[in-house]
Amino acid sequence: MQPSTDPRVLQLSQAFALFNDTSRALADSYQELERRAADLSQQLAAAHSARLRELAEKERLADRMQALIEALPGGVVVLDGKQRVVQTNAAARALFGQPLLEQTWPDAARRAFASMGDNGSLKLADGREFALSQQQLADAGRVLLLTDVTQARTLQAQLGHQQRLSALGEMSARLAHQLRTPLSAAMLYASRLGEGVLPSDIVTRLAGRICERLRHLDRLINDMLRYARAEHDGTGERVLASSLMQRALDNSGATQSGIAQVVVSDGCGDAQLLGNAGLLVAALGNLIDNALRFSPPDALVRVSARRLGGEVIFAVADDGPGVPEPLRERVFEPFFTTRSDGTGLGLAVVRSVICAHGGRVALTATSTRGAVFEIRLPEARAANALPAGGSVRLQQAVAESASSHDRRTQTITREFA
């Protein structure tokens, strides 16, 4: 049978052929979509399982962190960005003794703590002291850790007290030794005088030696009084640095003949110092006298003053034998001396005076041809105050002791005159 040549039949055949091709394409696409849907379902199930495991792990981690926070001996307080308490631990709840959630931290701290310590710690009414440390969070919140440091502070204070007692005992032992030597010599000479059968020239010589030993005791006691007064004197006055240096030179042995020549360089201008002028003059004069004592007669002692960075710097340089390396750290120790007639308190008094005025003194340079001692003191300003706030009662006791000692010395001097 011959195929129809009717155009409508041909069009219909072509339409059916196109429909069949489209159907096969749609069937193939549907099968591909089913395969991809199956793959995505498997991936989603795997991701869901991984997410569940991750959440479970985070929950376990959160539980462990919560248990750890609860077990901490210090109080933990977590704040949000508005300073509200959002989490606490058992130690914090016991410390504050009341619910803290949703309260603002300033209000909670104000109710719980009696005062703020000088070192930034918080103190309760019962005397317990807590150190406060904090860590910033990513959401503008904070984690506060309150640690009880009462016992640590107590132990630290006890240790400091024991160290001061130990230092006092050591100083007392050294002072007793320093006092015993000239006192024993004076007692020996006095016992010889008590025999009453000595020639007049020997009596005169023994009396002179007794006076010499008593003068040594007088210097030692005066140095000790200056040492104590420097540590506890909180009074101050304004004094020109140049005037202070000139007074120290006038009171020293710089004008005596047969000693080293003193060269002065004053570059401090109108700089003023705040403090006890008498003690500062004595301290600087002590350094000048030491430089003169250790320098040969044909040498130079250079005394200078300058301003630098808000400080007045005094320097005393000599051409003496210098300070040996093993002794450089000990020259400022009380009762340490290399001289047979020294009290060992000269440089210790200098350091005590300068430290009491907020300054420092140091052996800045030394060699076989001399040494340089340097004093640095802060310039006086409008609101300056001495850092050493001494006790008035202690100052009065020191002054009364010094006055009584002077009266006893004058009496002894008259008796031997």
| CA gap 369, 366 in Å, rounded | 8
CA-closest candidate to residue 319, choices 303, 298, 337, 295: 295
| Type of residue at 271 | A
Residue 177 appears among annotated catalytic residues:
yes
Task: Determine the Cα angle at 374 with ends 368 and 376, to 5°.
Answer: 165
Residue in 161, 177, 216, 357 annotated catalytic: 177
Q: Tokens 């350094």 belong to which residue?
A: 287
Q: What is the dihedral of CA 213, 217, 218, 219, to 10 degrees?
A: 100
DSSP 8-state symbol, 74 = S
**Partners of residue 362 on adjacent β-strands:** 374
Report the relative pairing of strands 122-123 and 129-136 from DSSP bridges. antiparallel
Report the relative pairing of strands 261-267 and 300-308 from DSSP bridges. parallel
Q: What is the dihedral of CA 221, 392, 247, 215, to 10 degrees?
A: -10
**Partners of residue 374 on adjacent β-strands:** 315, 362
CA-closest candidate to residue 413, choices 205, 212, 193, 180: 212
- The residues annotated as belonging to the active site are 177
